[in-house]
Structures are given as structure tokens and as C-alpha cells.
Amino acid sequence: MTVKKPLNILDHLKKKNFKRFSLFFIVAFVFLIFTKLSNDYKQTIKLTINLINVDDEILLKNDSTNYIKAYVEAKGFSLIPFIFNTSKELIIDADSDVSLKSSHFVFDVKKHKYLIEQQLGNSYKLVSILPDTVLIAYSKRASKSVPIVFKKAINYAVGYDLKGDFNFNIDSVKIVGSSAEVNKIDSITTEQLVLTDIKNDINKSVKLDISNYNNIEVFPKAVSVSGNVERFTEGIIEVPIEIVNQPENIIINYFPKAVTLSYYVDLENYNAIKPIDFKVECDYANLQDHQTYLIPKVVKKPNSIKRISIKQKRIDFIQL
């Protein structure tokens, strides 16, 4: 049989008083912290400079002195982020906030006090700033613009092809590096764009390939490529031949008088193709000694034609 232990009222009151005291202590401590953080304090903040919009050929030197000491006044709450890290990034625009010298940028600190206040925010009152001027050293690399060479391996689905030419958002890029390297580069090739069984329009971003060059940077680093892919079909048409550069004192009879052209065109333009849109010539001036035939060549065709071939590869003639 279990015997109940008599309730000790004194112990109960002690426990109850301890809990109450602990609660009051926590409330008082929190109130004290809030009171302290609500007061104004002064502190020095290190503003490290981040220069943006710098020209590609300019290389900023890694200088640990590129910072500003800002002595600020603020509420304790606002200074909490600087308990463990007393530095903050200051963004400066190379296009508008600095002046350019032969070997360094000059940032007038006092003149741009408003910029510092703006980036610090309304919670901070700027008391003083040092130094008056910051010099940001740089070196300049060689640079030039070169054309882009598009490298591709594209396989279209049966009955589909590219209509017109590929379009690029840029036709040249800037290369930056040592003079020796930059001077020997005449063009930059893209990485190969590989596509298979294409039926839809092409819209891709392709990186530029500088793997064969040392210490060279390229800007931008990629090019956007787009192209319209349409259904295509084959057409056949007969076009008369024209003889050019034939001497006036020579009369010839040639056969056939017309050739058959086979061409590849998109369906949209198929019905618009007419014989008058083509011109086929045989150049008499290209005859070799004792040669008894002429070579036909297409010298005019519609822009919509993708590929074209002549069925008759030679035109026989006799001189009368």
C-alpha cells in the first residue's frame, strides 16, 4: 500500500516565487536591452569601394587602401549588423562618380558625401568622413573588336530548312589582353552549335571559344543566334540560256537552248517562282583551246531559293 507524502506548502511557495522572479528578471533584462538599443551611439564604419561600369580593358589593382572611414551616429538597433563586421560596400559608378587620370581614378569623397549618406540610409547620421580623396589605381590592357565566326553542325528534319540567314544580336566582340596576343587575333569562333532533327525556329545562346588563346578575355562572352525554320520543297523550271562575250565575227549554234533547273524553296514562296526570276549564262571567253562545249552558270536567282543545280552540265556548240 502506497503512503502519500504530505504536501509541503513552504516548498510549493518557494517554487512559485522562483518562477515569478525568473519571469520578472527576463522581462527586466529584455526591457534593459531595448532601452540600451534605443539610445544613440557613435561608431566608425569602414566603407570598401566597389567601382562599377569600368571599361573592359581596365584592370583595377588589388589595393587594400581603397576604403573610406565613415564616423556615424545611429540607434543601437541600426548598429547591430556591425557588431561582428564593421565594413560595408560602397558602390561607385566609374561613368559618373570619379575622374579618370593616366594611372588611377580619383574619387572626391567630400563632393560625394550625398552618395555615401544615400547608401548608408536614413538610419545613420554621417558625422565625419576620411580621407578627402581616394585614388584607385589601375592598369590598361590592349583591346580591339573582331568579327564573330559562327560554328555549327545543324541537321534539319526531312522537308525543313533554314529560311534566309542566321541572325545575331552582335556581329563583333571586344577582345582584351596583352598586346602580343590581341594583335594576332583576327576573329573569334563560337563554340559549335549542334542541333538535330530541327523543325522549329532556332533561338540559342552560344558561347565564344577562346580556349586556344592565353590570358585573353572576350566581351560579351556569348552571342544570341536565331533563325527561321520553314517547310521546304523542290521545284523544277526551264530557263533559256544566254551566251555572253561572244565575238561579233563568230557565229555558233548551241544545244540545248534552255536548261532545267532544280531548286529548293520554302512553301510560302513556291508558287511565286517564275522563269524570268532566273538567268543562266554561258561565257564564251572561258573557252579553252579546241573545247566544243560551254559551261552554263546561274547568275541570277530569287533570294528565297535555298539551293539550285543545273541538270545539263554542258552546252554543246558548233561554229558556223
Taking 80 as the threshold, does the pLDDT of residue 7 lie above it? no
- Write down which residue in 201, 216, 231 finishes a domain: 231
Q: What is the pLDDT of residues 210-257, one digit of tens each?
A: 888 878 889 999 999 999 999 999 999 999 999 999 998 889 999 999
Predicted local confidence at residue 20, as pLDDT = 58
The answer to the question of residue 21 being in a domain is: no
- Band of pLDDT at residue 23, cut at 50, 70 and 90: low
**Bridge-based pairing state of the strands 193-198 and 152-156:** parallel
Report the domain count for the chain.
3
Residue 81, preceding peptide bond in cis (omega within 30° of 0): no
Phi, psi (deg, nearest 5) at residue 37: -70, -15
The answer to the question of residue 2 being in a domain is: no
Q: What is the dihedral of CA 127, 131, 133, 136, to 10 degrees?
A: -120
Residue 220, preceding peptide bond in cis (omega within 30° of 0): yes
Range of the domain at 268: 234-319
What CATH number has the domain bearing residue 102? 2.170.120
Predicted local confidence at residue 10, as pLDDT = 52
Q: What is the pLDDT of residues 182-216, one digit of tens each?
A: 888 999 999 999 999 999 999 999 999 988 887 88
Question: Which cell is 108 given?
Answer: 572626391
- Band of pLDDT at residue 259, cut at 50, 70 and 90: very high
What CATH number has the domain bearing residue 313? 2.170.120.30
Q: What is the pLDDT of residues 73-120, one digit of tens each?
A: 877 666 777 777 777 888 889 888 888 888 888 999 888 888 888 888
What CATH number has the domain bearing residue 178? 2.170.120.40
Residue 302, preceding peptide bond in cis (omega within 30° of 0): no
What's the chain's Rg over C-alpha atoms?
Answer: 40
Predicted local confidence at residue 39, as pLDDT = 62
Q: Is 277 helix (H, G, I), strand (E, B) or coil?
A: helix
The answer to the question of residue 25 being in a domain is: no
What is the helix (H) or strand (E) element at residue 34, kind and residue range?
Answer: helix 9-37
Q: What is the pLDDT of residues 113-157, one digit of tens each?
A: 888 888 888 878 888 888 888 888 888 888 899 999 999 999 999
Burial label, 284 (beta-carbon count in 10 A; 0-12, 13-18, 19+): middle
- Write down which residue in 231, 265, 291 finishes a domain: 231
Predicted local confidence at residue 48, as pLDDT = 86
Predicted local confidence at residue 179, as pLDDT = 84
Phi, psi (deg, nearest 5) at residue 89: -80, 135
Predicted local confidence at residue 49, as pLDDT = 87
Q: Are residues 122 and 180 in the same domain?
A: no
Residues 32 and 44: their CA atoms lie apart, in Å, by 25
- Write down which residue in 140, 172, 207 finishes a domain: 140
Q: Are residues 169 and 132 in the same domain?
A: no
